[in-house]
Amino acid sequence: MSNSVGAVIVAAGRGTRMGTAESKQYLLLQGKPIIVHTLEVFQQHELISEIVLVTGQEDIERCREWVEAYKLDKVKAVVPGGSERQHSVHLGLKQLDTNWVMVHDGVRPFVQESEIDACYERARAIGASVLAVPVKDTIKQVDGNGKVLSTPDRRSLWAIQTPQTFRLSDLLAAYAAAEQEGFIGTDDSSLAERSGIPVSVVEGSYRNIKITTPEDLDFAEFTERNRGEG
């Protein structure tokens, strides 16, 4: 079991930017909750031996029911998350019992099996990996008054996705250090980077969106409807 791989799927957010009454991770895509689509990708991947699902306290019961109904038997625990994504990930990590961990957003249902393979291979070779795509737009740094400060060279900019893959012991140490130092990052890699863990990007797909705002649902419906057609 020295190379066992677990997944922490975080789904304890409120979906403020989506603005729906129902949290976005539970909205239906082709009749199935988004979170179930995401879990199924990891359930079906032979590399993954166990999954921890992190949800809101009030959603634990219905999530457990879906785990039963959709036969997601790799899900070993459904646990409550915290106020920030980082807290939710940390709570999930503490439940895992594998050598490697892939942290993944519950609202990224379009990650591909081949991308999971590539992320794991790179993490084994380098220490840690993040799935990412080169940015397509020109990015500017702007101050609080709208004044443009700089235009970084786009060739060095990547939009970071999940999964993000680490040795579980490395990531737990990075999370403990961040907690002690009061650091909050927007992804897992930023905690690993400040602990000195080498992280490499793996080029993924623009389809692996994080469903965040209402227009993402149109894309998601379209993509899900056409899944497997090419």
Ligand X SMILES: C[C@](O)(CO)[C@H](O)COP(=O)(O)O
Ligand Y SMILES: Nc1ccn([C@@H]2O[C@H](COP(=O)(O)OP(=O)(O)OP(=O)(O)O)[C@@H](O)[C@H]2O)c(=O)n1
- Binding part of the chain for ligand X, among 52-60, 115-123, 139-147, 156-164 by CB under 6 A, reads 156-164
Q: Which is nearer to ligand Y, 126 or 159 (by Cβ)? A: 159
- Of 29, 21, 7, the residue nearest 209 (C-alpha): 29
Interface residues with ligand Y (CB under 6 A)?
A: 10-17, 25, 54, 81-85, 88, 105-107, 210, 212
In three-state secondary structure terms, 223 is helix
- Contact between 129 and ligand X by CB under 6 A: the answer reads no
Among 194, 207, 210, 227, contact with ligand X (rule: CB under 6 A): 210
HSE (side-chain half, CA atoms, 13 Å) at 54: 26
Structure tokens at 202: 């793996």
Site for ligand X in 87-106 (CB under 6 A): 105
Could you tell me the smallest distance in angstroms from the CB atom of residue 87 to ligand X? 12
Nearest approach, Cβ of 166 to ligand X (angstroms)?
13
Q: Could you tell which of ligand Y, ligand X, none binds residue 10, using a CB distance below 5 to 8 A set by kind?
A: ligand Y
Neighbours of 197 (CB within 10 A): 18
- What beta strand segments (E) does the chain contain? 5-11, 28-29, 32-33, 48-55, 75-80, 100-105, 128-134, 141-142, 148-150, 158-167, 200-203
Query: Three-state SS for 38?
Result: helix
Residue 192 touches which of ligand X, ligand Y, none (Cβ within 5-8 Å per kind):
none
Q: 162 is in the binding site of which of ligand Y, ligand X, none (Cβ under 5 to 8 A by kind)?
A: ligand X
Binding to ligand X (CB under 6 A) within 5-24 occurs at: none
Token digits for 114?
Answer: 């081949």
* Count of chain residues binding ligand X (CB under 6 A): 8
59 interacts with, out of ligand Y, ligand X, none, CB within 5 to 8 A per kind: none
| 162 sits near ligand X (criterion: CB under 6 A) | yes
Whether residue 93 contacts residue 169, with contact meaning beta carbons closer than 8 Å, is answered with no
Nearer to ligand Y, 43 or 88 (CB): 88
Q: Rule CB under 6 A: is residue 186 a binding residue for ligand X?
A: yes
Q: Residue 40 and residue 45: Cα distance in Å, rounded?
A: 8
Contact in structure between 12 and 55 (CB atoms under 8 Å)? yes
Strand-strand pairing, 75-80 and 48-55: parallel
Is 4 or 27 the residue whose CB approaches ligand X more closely? 27
Where does this chain bind ligand X (CB under 6 A)?
85, 105, 160-162, 186-187, 210
